[in-house]
Every structure is written in structure tokens, then in C-alpha cells.
Copies of this chain bind each other. A is one copy, B any other.
Amino acid sequence: MHFLSGPVGVEGAEPGDLLVVDLLDIGAKPDSLWGFNGFFSKKNGGGFLTEHFPSAQKSIWDFHGMFTSSRHVPGVNFAGLIHPGLIGCLPDRAMLETWNQREVDFIATDPARVPPLANPPFAGTAHMGKLTGEAKAKVAAEGARTVPPREHGGNCDIKDLSRGSKVFFPVYVKGAGLSVGDLHFSQGDGEITFCGAIEMAGWVHMRVSLIKGGMAKYGIKNPIFKPSPITPSYKDYLIFEGISVDEQGQQHYLDVHVAYRQACLNAIEYLKKFGYSGAQAYSILGTAPVQGHISGVVDIPNACATLWLPTEIFDFDINPTSAGPVKFISGTTDLPIAYDLT
């Protein structure tokens, strides 16, 4: 579950406009200077590496001004790349129906799948804010779930929509209806430790303006954005390659998802040589300002993805040397596990 604020109306906004949102600043609530990162249990939907980390595990991250560190993951300390996981304007009725239809159709291709291929509207657990009575029932039954990113933006979990960035959103309804939430103190590309990034309670300071008729003027279907000039700048990276051959040696066709998974697994193996548990290494990849690049997608049959791990976030040197790695991490702490109830 992610908390959202909104929708907020924007005077003058009309369908076809672009809503320009300046994320002027984002911060943690002053009485809540911590966040958490966790993996879902495989039984609860799992995540990117759920075959390797099937249990629910969690780490706590304390905020020290603009920096964070964790009692469960020693040896790393980095500046927050604070951003909302979810932000976007309301869909109109046609867009909403498109979403619901294509996802229902998709589920139908493998209806017995666990977890399901997508999440249709589900009135039973819908959180409907201040709506009551019939209105609430109607919306809960039809409202798209906020799990995935869609044409309007939504739960993109793009770490680079960080404070200081400027986003251009398609407007579908009069007043735009801007919502924002699911704040993250930091996240690696992919949000691979679902759920999630370093999830936090916080506030957002935004400014909005409009480009009238901007969707047609610029041919916009999905949001576009410009990065912040105030991004933490880690420049020295150790980069891991992965190709679209999976852990079982199975070949996949130009599959970047598989290739990135291999790059992540390669990075985890590497970090274990310095004393980290697999879960700790996984947690670093999900929370630190790690980059995931689509490096090659045309050299049949292998896609090549790269994971960029900033070396400066570590208290020690993680570069390869002739002497081999030193076990800087003692292994006395690890991420607590919450075992599945049977």
C-alpha cells in the first residue's frame, strides 16, 4: 500500500494541456526521520529476485540530514535521492476504460496464475478517501489500481523524478487532478526490492503551470521530465554486466528484464565477497542510487543490461585488486525475516 495525496485541481487545466510540475523540494516528516526497505514474501507476490529471496525481510534506514544509513546494512552511507514513487493526473473515462480492459484481457491469457498477471479494480480493499455511499461503491468497483505506471505517469518509481526536477504531465480532465505520494528517500533503478525503495513519511513542495494544448504541440503520450540540478553526484562506479541467459542457463530473446536480473545477481555475488549477506547486498541494490542501463538490445539473441554501483557509498574500497577482497563486514547483523504464517 502507498499513501497518496490528491487529486488536487489546477485552475485553467483542460484536456490536452501539459501540466508542468516543479518538484521544488521534498523532505521527510521532521518527527519521522527514518524509512524502511523490504522484500515481499514470494507467497505475497514476491519481487524481482523472489526466487533467490523468497522470505519477507526488512531493513530500517535512519536519516541523518540529507544522508541515510541502516542498522541492518553496515558499511554504506549515502545521500538521499528523494522522490515520489507515484505522481500523475487523473485519467478521463476513456483512458480508464482502456486501462481496465487491456489489463483484464491480459489476466485472461493466464487466469490461474499466482500471483495474477495484473491487478484489476477490487472493491474489497479499495481505500477511497472521503468518498461515501454509492459514489464510493461505484468508484471502488471501477477505479484502476494504482500499482503500475500507466500513460498518465502514476507509480513509475523513477528515482530521477527527484526533488528539483520538472515534470510535464498529460492532462485528461478539466482541472487535471494531480495526485502524488509513495515518497522514497532513495531507490536504485528498477525498485528491485519490491516493496520497495526506502519508504518514508514526508512532504512535497510543488509549483504548477500549464502548456496549453501541449500534448498535441509536442506529441506527448507519456510524461516527460527534466532531471534536477541538485542530484547527488556519485561519479565512480563499478559496473556489472548481465545478458539474457537466466540463472538456469536458459536463453531468452533480447529480454532486458532477464539481463538486468543477471547483472543484479552478479553484483550480489560480488558484494558477498566483502562479507555481506545476500539479503544485505540485495537491499543495497534496491535502496542506493544504483543505475540500471539498457546497454544493448539488438545483438540477437542476447540483450545486455548493466548495473552501475557507486563505489563512494561504501565505507571501504570495493574495487577489485590483486590482493583480493577483504571481509570488511563481520556478518554479525542481517535483515530480520518475517516467516510466512502457515
A binding-site residues for B, Cβ under 8 Å = 18, 20, 22-25, 45, 47-48, 64-67, 79, 98, 102-103, 105-106, 115, 117-119, 147-151, 153, 155-160, 163-164, 168, 189-192, 194, 196, 205, 207, 210-214, 217-227, 229-243, 245, 249-251, 253-257, 260, 262-263, 266, 269-270, 272-273, 291-306, 308, 312, 317, 319-322, 324-325
> Which of B119, B189, B257 is A255 in contact with, Cβ under 8 Å?
B257
Of A18, A164, A320, chain B has the most CB atoms within 10 Å of the CB of: A320
- Could you say which residues of chain B place their CB within 8 Å of the CB of A196? 298
14 A–B pairs (Cβ distance < 8 Å), ordered by A? A98-B249, A105-B251, A149-B302, A151-B243, A159-B295, A160-B295, A191-B296, A210-B322, A220-B266, A225-B239, A226-B236, A227-B236, A256-B294, A293-B294
Given the interface contacts A156-B295, A255-B257, does A79 sit within 8 Å of B230 by beta carbon? yes
- Could you say which residues of chain B place their CB within 8 Å of the CB of A79? 164, 229-230
- Could you say which residues of chain B place their CB within 8 Å of the CB of A150? 243, 245, 302
- Could you say which residues of chain B place their CB within 8 Å of the CB of A223? 241
- Could you say which residues of chain B place their CB within 8 Å of the CB of A103? 251, 301
CB distance from A16 to the nearest CB of B (A): 12
**Contact status A64-B218, CB under 8 Å:** no
**Contact status B293-A293, CB under 8 Å:** yes
Which chain B residue lies CB-closest to A101? B249
- Could you say which residues of chain B place their CB within 8 Å of the CB of A234? 229, 235
**Contact status B320-A157, CB under 8 Å:** no
> Which of B115, B155, B250, B293 is A102 in contact with, Cβ under 8 Å?
B250
**Contact status A219-B273, CB under 8 Å:** yes
Number of copies: 4
Which chain B residue lies CB-closest to A148? B302
* Additional pairs, 18, CB under 8 Å, beyond known A25-B65, A158-B295, A190-B294: A20-B320, A79-B230, A117-B253, A149-B299, A156-B241, A190-B296, A190-B297, A190-B298, A211-B324, A219-B273, A227-B236, A233-B233, A255-B256, A256-B294, A260-B297, A292-B294, A292-B295, A294-B294
**Contact status A148-B243, CB under 8 Å:** yes
**Contact status B266-A256, CB under 8 Å:** no
CB distance from A64 to the nearest CB of B (A): 5
**Contact status B242-A295, CB under 8 Å:** no
| Assembly CA distance A245 to B152 (angstroms) | 13
| Assembly CA distance A322 to B210 (angstroms) | 8
CB distance from A301 to the nearest CB of B (A): 4
The 5 closest A-B pairs by CB, nearest first: A24-B65, A25-B65, A292-B294, A194-B298, A219-B269
**Contact status B257-A239, CB under 8 Å:** no
| Assembly CA distance A294 to B286 (angstroms) | 13
Of A150, A298, A301, chain B has the most CB atoms within 10 Å of the CB of: A298
- Could you say which residues of chain B place their CB within 8 Å of the CB of A238? 224-226
